[in-house]
Amino acid sequence: FKDRNADYFFDLIRESRSSEFLPQNFRNKLAFLLKKEESIRLALSVPYNNGLVEGTNNKIKLLKRSAFGYRKHEHLFARIYWMQADTVYSV
């Protein structure tokens, strides 16, 4: 994944899938990856990911869990905005 070489990745999967030493559950997972080959190739070919959004969602969930008891939603939203103030977004 680090080199984003999809051909090598899927060649390894195809070779490993025929191995008799792998448990059947693992071979089923490899078959699933082959079924999703087009999507995986696309994900490896573009330089974009959703890591920033996932990180923000995780922070909000942690805040909601640890800061229950806000009397008003506005206070919770203000805390979320304050928490995200140091994050710089660029397109």
Q: What is the pLDDT of residues 22-51, one digit of tens each?
A: 888 999 999 999 999 999 999 888 888 888
64 plus 40 within the same structural domain: no
* Residue 32 confidence (pLDDT): 95
Q: Which pLDDT score is estimated for 38?
A: 94
Q: Do 41 and 56 reside in the same domain of the chain?
A: no
**Hey, what amino acid is at 45?**
S
Range of the domain at 69: 51-83
pTM (whole model) above 0.75: no
- Residues 64 and 60: their CA atoms lie apart, in Å, by 6
Tokens found for residue 33: 């990856």
Whether 23 is in a domain gets the answer yes
- According to the model, what pLDDT value does residue 56 have? 85
Taking only the tens place, the pLDDT of each residue in 58-78 is 988 888 777 666 777 788 788
Instruction: Inform me whether the pLDDT recorded for 91 exceeds 60.
Output: no
- Check: CB of residue 40 under 8 Å from CB of residue 6: yes
Q: Is residue 88 part of a domain?
A: no
Q: Is 37 in the same domain as 57?
A: no
| Count of the separate structural domains present in the chain | 2
Q: Check whether residue 40 and residue 57 sit in a common domain.
A: no
